[in-house]
Amino acid sequence: MTSRIRLAFALVLCSAGAWAQNPDWIERYRPTADKLIDAAMADTEGYDRLAYLCYRIGHRLSGSESLERAIAWSAEQMKAVGLANVRVIPAMVPHWVRGAESARMLAPVDKPLHMLGLGMSVGTPPGGITAEVVAVSDFAELEKLGRDKVAGKIVLYNEAYRGYGPTVSYRVYGAPRAAALGAAAVLVRSVTPLALQIPHTGMMVYEDAQPHIPAAAVSPEDAMMIARLCADGVPVKVHLEMGAHMEPDAQSGNVIGEIPGKEHPEEVVVIGGHIDSWDVGQGAQDDGASIIASLQALVLMKKLGLEPRRTIRVAFWVNEENGGRGGEAYRAWIGDGIKNQVAAIEMDGGAETPRGFGAMVDANSIELLRQAAHLLDRIGAGEITPGGGGEDIAPLMRDGVAGLGERTSGAHYFDWHHTEADTFDKVDLTDFRKNMAAMAVMGYLLADIPERLVATPVSGRRR
């Protein structure tokens, strides 16, 4: 037995912890990783596919005709590039319709407000709502005002951006908190660090125990103006009209395709993002670039003749934005096969400069990933941090699958997030290619290395 064969045999037998103690294994994969990176940095097909998705299909809200056209087109693309087992996994999705909407300040001055209704909000009664505004900066200030000062009013949450996680709760939960005190409607300062009179939509939820009241986002500038007037003791009156409503759930689905594994085809590494988007902009950064980069990662493997030990699957999940039903349908479709789901990588942070991956795995697996990620240092994507995943793979992660989330610089993502500005021109070609390379290299490695990552427990979902 040669020394090379003995080394390979030993690697198959060892655990992730043992692999982490023998980092020389990385060099076995460097030539393949470099080929994938080189191919990604020369690729033009992926960017062209993204342009088609954005410019010829456009935004893709669950329940919409444009989403279904995108799903059919995506399946055609997967078949055209030679992926195996291309299919659409059925999922029933909510069908929320925005309808006509507007907001206008009537006093102390008469001017239109820059607004977008929040996803899943109810509409106003016919003719709209006209009411005085009370402005608060947080939930504690709302509770301090009490029902006497809130009932019948429109509540404005003027929470300054402190990062997406800390700030988004006002968009998600602001309506039921205000409704509990008798508010007639809610306006929320858009969740963004950039003030350019652009409103940002997004998901909100109701509580069954509270009235369902209309909820809309306004631009940061409009929110700050109203809040300043209220602070100065100047009565502010706003007229809000929203035609938002729910239609019956619609039939839709997740799109998947595969490169079957050469040794363990029953074991699967899945990579992807969500095909749906909000009904504004083109869904370019959120999440069109991600699904196309993930598809193209498999295209590169096919072109290079790479066949990993395990099956690598690309998934375009549906209904991430306003329900998460695509991820749940995918988990249900897998059923008892969950034990063979080796890892899941979600890309849902835009396609700006990639930095690396966050991973919900144990300490030994983190160390293994950090060694592996050195293969991505040449494109600046070699960072591995604890914690990661995504909305679409959360159902898998809850049942023990190792989950990774690709991470980027995020320099401008929340400038465009959920707005009319999320368009193809915001996706830089070089950054897009680097993201494609990162997904290709990490996906291939996890599908080919003998050892499996060890997941850490997760629960719940981020809105």
Tell which residue, 90, 94, 119, has the closest CA to residue 317. Answer: 90
- Identify the DSSP state of 379: G
Sheet holding 84-97, edge to edge: 84-97, 245-259, 310-317, 264-274, 341-346, 402-408, 354-360, 383-386
Chain-centroid distance of CA 153 in Å reads 34
Task: Report which secondary-structure segment, H or E, holds 442.
Answer: helix 429-448
* Residue type present at position 281: G
Q: Which residues have a Cβ under 8 Å from the Cβ of 244 and sit 6 or more positions away?
A: 96, 97, 98, 99, 101, 117, 121, 122, 123, 214
């029933």: which residue's tokens? Answer: 92
Catalytic residue (one of 101, 159, 320, 406): 320
Helix and strand numbers, DSSP H then E, in the chain: 14, 16
Tell which residue, 292, 288, 284, 276, has the closest CA to residue 423. Answer: 284
- The SS3 call for residue 58 is coil
Joined together, the tokens standing for residue 249 give 């759930």
Respond yes or no on whether the N-terminal peptide bond of residue 108 is cis (omega within 30° of 0). yes
Chain-centroid distance of CA 432 in Å reads 16
Q: Are 327 and 320 in contact (CB under 8 A)?
A: yes
Bridge partners of 257? Answer: 314
What is the rounded distance in angstroms from the CA atom of residue 289 to the CA atom of residue 292?
5
Tell me the angle at which helices 363-372 and 26-42 cross, rounded to the nearest 10 degrees: 60
Joined together, the tokens standing for residue 320 give 């991430």
Task: List b or e across 324-358, with b for residues whose CB sees 16 or more CB atoms inside 10 angstroms.
Answer: bbbbbbbbeebeeeeeebbbbbbbbbbbbbbbbbb
For this structure, is 241 an active site residue? no
Tell which residue, 21, 39, 14, 18, has the closest CA to residue 301. Answer: 39
Catalytic residues: 320
